[in-house]
Amino acid sequence: MHTVGVDLGGTNIGTVVLDDDDEVIGYAKRKTPTRGDHNRVVDVIVGGVHDAIDDAGLSVKKIDAVGVGTPGVVVDGTVGDASNVPGFQVRFSLGDLVSDLVDKPVRVVNDVTAGAVAEHRSGAGRGWNQVLCVFAGTGVGGGLILDGRVFEGAHGGAGEFGHQVIRQGGAVCPCGRRGCVEAYAGRQAMTLAAERHVASGGSTVLFDVMKKKGKSRPTSGVFSNALDLGDVFVADLIDDCISALAAGIATSVNLLDLEGVVLGGGLADKLGKPFRARVEAAMQPHLFFSPPKVELVSAALGDNGGAIGAALLSREVA
Ligand SMILES: [Zn+2]
């Protein structure tokens, strides 16, 4: 069986073709439209699907199903409430639109859930039945595997790791609420904090590094470089990010008695092993279990995880 998996991100749309052995045999990447309506995004998704099939040297006939991982809340093939993709705020039937254009069964899943499935089946979480995957990047997402299966909750909204409240009345989160993990550990929130710091006369090399690297916003790589340069303000931001992730992960472990936690996403990937080790150390005092039974490991699949997970999940509709 051959399946295609799409990972729709705010910046790029990554697409893979998987064979029976879960190997990636085709790959494509296109830019996510920044304006227009959802139909424009759907056209780019479908273009990427054909690119990846070409890259695999296959014909469309050989494809059994397509999986699409998307931001937002997914219910029965529809998606809505995704703030960073044009036209995805108002709920519509993404699955039907893609299926009509590619003439294959399509399964739509939350992008973070797809990433979690991939890490569980063929990445760092292999062999565990109770797993939380945390992806720290622009925002902070989470995906839950409970009893070996994806846990999506009563309304498809489970796993919102980034919006666990770790500090009542704390910093404002991009979601509009206060004190969420993401208010301290998401790159968007960290960037806003740096902008406020500079506006009030504080200093940081963050935005100089950003310009030197030719970026329009501080990427995870920019944060990592600024930290390496010894920037005190960025070091403080990273300290807060680590405490927030550690509190959120320990709280999840206390609630669910997990076997392991996979930590990935752009920020965690760029900051690497020392970052993971610091999160692991910082979560210990919050763990209720004695002795602590949980392992924290780095994600193994990088950028392709979401697309691989979407392809794996599409097998169920093939
Ligand atoms: Zn929030």
Q: What is the pTM of this model?
A: 0.90
Q: Please report, as a single letter, which amino acid is at residue 269.
A: D
> What's the CA gap between 94 and 79, in Å, rounded?
6
Q: Which of 308, 162, 312 is nearest to 245 (CA)?
A: 162
Task: Dump pLDDT digits (tens) for 56-91.
Answer: 999 999 999 999 999 988 989 999 988 779 999 999
- 211-235 average pLDDT score: 96
- For residue 289, is pLDDT > 90? no
The phi-psi region of residue 272 (left if phi > 0; otherwise alpha if psi is between -120 and 50; otherwise beta) is left
- 226-246 average pLDDT score: 98
- 114-119 average pLDDT score: 96
> What's the CA gap between 145 and 238, in Å, rounded?
28
Cα-based distances in Å from 304 to 27, 76, 316: 9, 24, 20
- For residue 200, is pLDDT > 70? yes
Q: Give residue 58 CA to ligand 1 midpoint distance, Å.
A: 42
Residue 314 corresponds to which tokens in the numbers above?
């599409």
Mean pLDDT for all residues in the chain: 94
Q: Which of 84, 136, 176 is nearest to 279 (CA)?
A: 136
Q: Give the pLDDT score at 292.
A: 59
Count of helices and strands (H, E) across the chain:
10, 12
- 205-211 average pLDDT score: 98
Q: Give the pLDDT score at 107.
A: 97
Strand-pair category, 149-150 with 65-70: unpaired
Q: Give the pLDDT score at 179.
A: 98
> What's the CA gap between 193 and 89, in Å, rounded?
26
Q: Give residue 180 CA to ligand 1 midpoint distance, Å.
A: 5
Q: Give the pLDDT score at 253.
A: 94
> What's the CA gap between 72 and 79, in Å, rounded?
6
> What's the CA gap between 203 and 234, in Å, rounded?
10
Q: Give the pLDDT score at 84.
A: 78
Q: Give residue 102 CA to ligand 1 midpoint distance, Å.
A: 36
Q: Give residue 171 CA to ligand 1 midpoint distance, Å.
A: 10
Q: Give the pLDDT score at 293.
A: 73
Q: Give residue 24 CA to ligand 1 midpoint distance, Å.
A: 34
Tokens 């472990």, residue?
253
pLDDT over 90, % of the chain: 88
Beta bridge mates, 172: 178
Q: Give residue 284 CA to ligand 1 midpoint distance, Å.
A: 24
Q: Give residue 64 CA to ligand 1 midpoint distance, Å.
A: 38
Q: Is 61 exposed, middle or buried (0-12, 13-18, 19+ CB in 10 A)?
A: exposed
Coil, strand or helix at 79:
strand
Domain boundaries, the chain: 3-116+304-317, 125-299
- For residue 237, is pLDDT > 70? yes
Q: What is the dihedral of CA 235, 236, 239, 243, to 10 degrees?
A: -160
Q: Give the pLDDT score at 83.
A: 76
Specify the CATH architecture of the domain 125-299: 2-Layer Sandwich (3.30)
Q: Give residue 186 CA to ligand 1 midpoint distance, Å.
A: 10
> Mind giving me the DSSP string for 249-264?
HHHHHHHH--SEEEEE
Residue 133 corresponds to which tokens in the numbers above?
């995957």
Task: Dump pLDDT digits (tens) for 32-63.
Answer: 998 999 999 999 999 999 999 999 999 999 99
Q: Give the pLDDT score at 291.
A: 60
- 217-232 average pLDDT score: 96
- 4-14 average pLDDT score: 93
Q: Give the pLDDT score at 101.
A: 97
Q: Give residue 136 CA to ligand 1 midpoint distance, Å.
A: 13
Task: Dump pLDDT digits (tens) for 145-184.
Answer: 999 999 988 887 889 999 999 999 999 998 899 999 999 9
- 287-306 average pLDDT score: 86
Looking at the domain covering 3-116+304-317, what would its CATH class be? alpha beta
How confident is residue 294, by pLDDT bands cut at 50, 70 and 90?
A: confident
Q: Which of 20, 302, 243, 253 is nearest to 128 (CA)?
A: 253
* Least confident segment among 238-252, 278-292, 297-311: 278-292
